[in-house]
Structure formats: C-alpha cells, structure tokens
Structure 1
Amino acid sequence: MPIDIETFDERSSDDLQSVTNAEKVIRFLAANDDKAYTPSEIADRVDVKRNSLGTVLSRLEDRDLVRHKGDYWAIGDMETVRNAYEMHRIMESLNERYGEEDIEEWRAHAAEGDSR
C-alpha cells in the first residue's frame, strides 16, 4: 500500500516497517486490556481481513498471548506478552546484524552431524 511523501519523509525506518496481523491484534488488545472483543470487532478495528483473523487468534492463543471465552477475545498475561515482544525485538536485531537463519542449511548440517 503506498504512503504519501510527507509520511515517507517524516517517519523513521522503524516506523515504516510492515506490521504483521498478529502484531496489530496484540497491540490493539494490549491497548484495550480492560475489554474483550469478538473477532469481527477486532478485524474492523485493526484492519485485518476477517477470514484470516481466526488463524491469527488461534496462533496467538497457542502462545498464550491472547485468551478467549465463547466468542470473545482478550489480551493474555501481560508478562508473557512483554517477554514475547522482547524476544521478537532481539531476533529482529540479530537478523538485521547477522542475516536470517536458513532452515535448509540447518537441516543439512544436522544431517551431516548424524553420520558420525
């Protein structure tokens, strides 16, 4: 999605990086931690397609970052959310510094190690 040139000129590189759907959901629910929302309410407020939100919420729940009862979803334990954010920030920093890991390279190396 294009942005206007003023936004481009005024924002930092970090501000202009794409935000994942999961990050959008977590940020919204954390900012509204006194409420629980239905998936359609979350989708409308964070600009995520409704048909992909169920998968996002399920994955976040698997990581204990959100919780739900019935049709309603809320932020999970804030310490868990903070720890996940910190780990994400560290991984981004390491990827930026050293490059992203190549899973196929890891698998090849692991297979070589098994042939002792």
Structure 2
Amino acid sequence: MPISIDRFEDEPDGVLELEAGTQPYTVLSFLAENDAQAFTQGEIHEATDIPRGSVGVVLSRLEDRGLVRHRGRYWTIAEDDRLAAVAAQHGASSASTTDDYYGDSAE
C-alpha cells in the first residue's frame, strides 16, 4: 500500500511498523509472549508455522533493526521501547479470546 510523500518525508526513522499477520509480526509476538526464554530457529519455526527457510531471514532482518538479539543458536526479543506496542497488542488479543464474559453467575 503506498503512503503519501509527506508521510514518507516526515515519519521518524524509529517508527516501528508491523502488520498483524506478517512473518516479522508473528515472530516478534511469539518472542514477546515468551520474553523470559530464548529459542532456536527450529523452535520458532515449530511454534509459529513460519517456513523453516524463512525464519532465519526474518530474524536477521529483525536483528538489523535492533528488535531481536541472539547468542549462538538462540534468539530472544530485544529490549526496545518500540516493542511495548507489539506486546500490548498481543496481550489485548489474547485477553479477548480468554475473557470470561459470563463471570461467576453463569455457573
């Protein structure tokens, strides 16, 4: 989707744009949800259903943007203020699927 030239010229470089449903969004959401752990590319593939050959490319691009970090074979989410929106968005969508709309009165 094209953007206006004004937006192109004026938007700060630090803005994090991730569309829900994309591979980078899926990887970041998974890592944000599991921020106390680090995972291999194979484990990320298994957890997200992203093709095994794409996981490494996605992780490398996210690392270039400072959004993930790795040590050896293991990858985890980076400590970046821009990621708060991803975590909040993921938390909100998870909460909406697990809310008990009937409360205790439905028992």
Q: TM-score, normalised by structure 1?
A: 0.54
* Greater fraction of residues in helix: 1
The gaps in structure 2 that reach 5 residues or longer are: 1-18, 88-107
* Aligned mates of 1:76, 1:18 — CA distance in 2: 19
1:1-116 correspondence runs (5 A):
19-82=21-84
Q: TM-score, length-normalised on structure 2?
A: 0.59
The structure showing larger relative contact order (alpha-carbon pairs under 8 Å, at least 6 residues apart) is 2
* Structure 1: runs of 5+ lacking an equivalent: 1-16, 86-116
Runs of 4 or more above 6 Å deviation = none
Determine helix, strand or coil for the equivalent of 1:68: strand
Q: Distance in 1 between matches of 2:60 and 2:85?
A: 19
C-alpha contact 2:37 2:76 (8 A) present in aligned 1: yes
Tell me the matched-pair count.
69
Computing the radius of gyration from Cα coordinates, the structure with the larger value is 1
Q: Identity rate of aligned residues, in percent?
A: 45
Task: Find the aligned partners of 1:32 and 1:83 in 2 and give their Cα distance.
Answer: 15
